Chains A and B, each alone.
Chain A
Amino acid sequence: MKPNDGIERTPIAQAPSPLEQPSDSDKIDRRAFLTRGAGMVAATVTAWPAPAAAAAADAPAAVPPWMQTPGKPMSNYGQPSAFEKPVARIVGAPYGAIAPGSGAARTPIHALEGTITPSGLHFERHHNGVPEIDPAAHRLLIHGLVKKPLMFTVQALLRYPMTSRICFIECAGNSNANTNLKAPQVPAGAIHGMVSCSEWTGVPLAVLLDEAGVDPRADWLLAEGADAAAMSRSVPLAKAFDDAMIALYQNGERLRPEQGYPVRLLLPGWEGNMNVKWLRRVKLTEGPTHTKDETSKYSDPTPDGKARQFTFEMGVKSVITRPSIGMKMQGAGLYEISGLAWSGAGKIRRVDVSLDGGTSWREAVLQAPIFSKSVTRFRLPWEWNGARVQLQSRATDEKDNVQPSRASWLPDYMPQQRYHNNSIQTWAIEADGGVSNVYL
């Protein structure tokens, strides 16, 4: 659909695809950047090839070596190209050797396209490492305020009626680096990469609760994982009867260990932390349990010294992934702005892009299909004139929630408050083509 805002647009099909056919030097530079990016160090590299290389400078082999020898045989489980090794999660382990499994590994959203996160690049956030669980020895217990407490084997769960949905999971602490006093000059994935999107398949939690028989006094449930932190969160029972899922599959295959194999709780649109991995126990309760991860953590202090507790829904949000830090513009010309938008409240209805730090906006094109509580890709062809710009994206969801500016989001919270930062990201693009993170 053509937005009626009077702006000249080039059809997306005609826009150059900057990551297509990069020259060898581009690849090397990107790899170097991404390796450094893994160490959370800012770097500037060439990710956008110049629009038209002279034939003299570009001499591809008419018959490359891989056309002159048979290729590799079939394999049991395919892996990304060796040339894509640098596209990797960005690991942060704040406690170091004391608790190497406590921390996060972020999705390199700056190096990906489309909406589905490859399972091996889905962000990780663990509280004491990834357990290696033998599914035959794993059980799911449903008890508490139920008529009939039930114990399920994984094998049994696999025989239940299933449903699939595509949705995002975002850590409540995503984008927390943008609450630092100084704007971090690191890739988009290092700032905003605790959001990922998959197709999840499993059993509606409500089906299992029906079998256990809910006691009318129950209004919350406690979900507990089988990791070495026995991570646990309280969830209003209404969510179980809305869209909660006992997830068994991710992107068509069984869950990855880092995503909760063999069983995870999926609560679409809600804090990633509540999507309890390695789920072993669901206890129906009257009122919340007030676990450590819903009191001392994952609560949001406000300037008056109080704290918001149980702020489950992830706010409407977007981020431009291209261009972003680490990419260098190759002179004036036509580029495609590309990014991700999502909301825990429902579907993304609109994304606007600003080139002047939020003074004026133009509507981006949303790529179908658009699913509720899922990641939506937005795109906008852009003729860069080579002058400095301050690039922003602003998402609006179907409930009319609008992504706030950083300046309007910050004062709602206590200093150092690092959860639920859904504020607008600003990338400054200098006349030399360099990209940096600026606070507005």
Chain B
Amino acid sequence: MSTFRTVIAAIVLAALAMACATSTTGPSSRPAGPGLGRDATPQEIAAWDISIPPSGAGLPAGSGTAKQGEAVYVAKCLACHAAKGAGKPADQLVGGLGSLATANPVRTVGSYWPYATTLFDYIRRAMPTTNPMSLSDSEVYAVTAYLLHLNGIVGANAEMNAQTLAEVKMPNRDGFVDWSRK
């Protein structure tokens, strides 16, 4: 009988071990990798890392004002976003302030976007769609300043750079409710 119990116990233990070994859901059971990634160099990381969080960490050197940005906008953005960010065929970028809780909400950079850093990040990585990543960092600062100015958020001569951009408080900064933990 005790031998029988030992055998049963051994079978149960073996089954448990197999279950653990074959499960792919629990963190404790995931397989080890073969370690085939090579070290990424600081230079590589600096060149690849283009994302800018609200803190402004990673914003590059360079600067621009709304006045300088107007020329960039007319040359690179107006064809899709229309004069002064009025929109069509692409998104409207200007106006709509105070409209979000009405029957006709107008969501634009000025009325909806919570962070100015996002504007720099997105223009730099994706605009213009015909030639993304073609603008210089100063051109991106300048056209960002222009759009902020059209929305009445910064003055025509305000210089946007790595320090000032992160300090811009967008009108709808507190308009978002975090559902990531709901």
Residue of B whose beta carbon sits closest to that of A241: B27
**Chain A residues in 8 Å Cβ range of B49:** 143, 281, 283
| Complex Cα spacing A281 to B58, Å | 15
Report which residue of B36, B103, B115, B133 has the largest number of chain A beta carbons within 10 angstroms of its beta carbon: B36
Q: Is there a chain B Cβ closer than 8 Å to A409's Cβ?
A: no
**Chain A residues in 8 Å Cβ range of B178:** 309-310
Q: Once the chains bind, are A161 and B33 in contact (CB under 8 Å)? A: yes
Write the nearest CB–CB distance from A160 to chain B, whole angstroms: 5
Q: Is there a chain A Cβ closer than 8 Å to B63's Cβ?
A: no
Write the nearest CB–CB distance from B28 to chain A, whole angstroms: 11
Write the nearest CB–CB distance from B37 to chain A, whole angstroms: 3
Q: Once the chains bind, are A211 and B101 in contact (CB under 8 Å)? A: no
Q: Once the chains bind, are B51 and A283 in contact (CB under 8 Å)? A: yes
Of B39, B79, B101, the residue contacting A151 (CB under 8 A) is B39
Interface residues on chain B, number (Cβ under 8 Å): 55
**Chain B residues in 8 Å Cβ range of A281:** 48-49
Indicate whether A230 sits within 8 Å of B126 (C-beta atoms), given known contacts A222-B51, A290-B118. yes
| Complex Cα spacing A228 to B112, Å | 24
Q: Once the chains bind, are A296 and B125 in contact (CB under 8 Å)? A: no
Of B39, B79, B118, the residue contacting A292 (CB under 8 A) is B118
Residue of B whose beta carbon sits closest to that of A203: B33
Indicate whether A95 sits within 8 Å of B80 (C-beta atoms), given known contacts A141-B48, A301-B105. yes
Task: Produce 1/0 per residue, A218-231, CB < 8 A to B.
Answer: 00001010001111
Q: Is there a chain A Cβ closer than 8 Å to B60's Cβ?
A: no
> Which B residues, 66 to 85, have Cβ-Cβ distances below 8 Å to chain A?
79-80
Q: Is there a chain B Cβ closer than 8 Å to A261's Cβ?
A: no
> Which A residues, 292 to 328, have Cβ-Cβ distances below 8 Å to chain B?
292, 295-296, 299, 301-312
Q: Is there a chain B Cβ closer than 8 Å to A176's Cβ?
A: no
Residue of B whose beta carbon sits closest to that of A128: B129
Q: Is there a chain B Cβ closer than 8 Å to A291's Cβ?
A: yes
Task: Produce 1/0 per residue, B28-69, CB < 8 A to A.
Answer: 001111111111100011001111111000000000000000
Task: Produce 1/0 per residue, B116-150, CB < 8 A to A.
Answer: 01100110011001101100000000000000000
Q: Is there a chain A Cβ closer than 8 Å to B2's Cβ?
A: no
Top-9 shortest CB links A-B: A305-B101, A150-B37, A156-B36, A310-B180, A305-B100, A292-B122, A230-B125, A149-B40, A161-B31
Instruction: List 5 A-B residue pairs with CB atoms under 8 Å apart, sorted by A's residue number.
Output: A128-B126, A160-B33, A208-B33, A296-B112, A309-B179
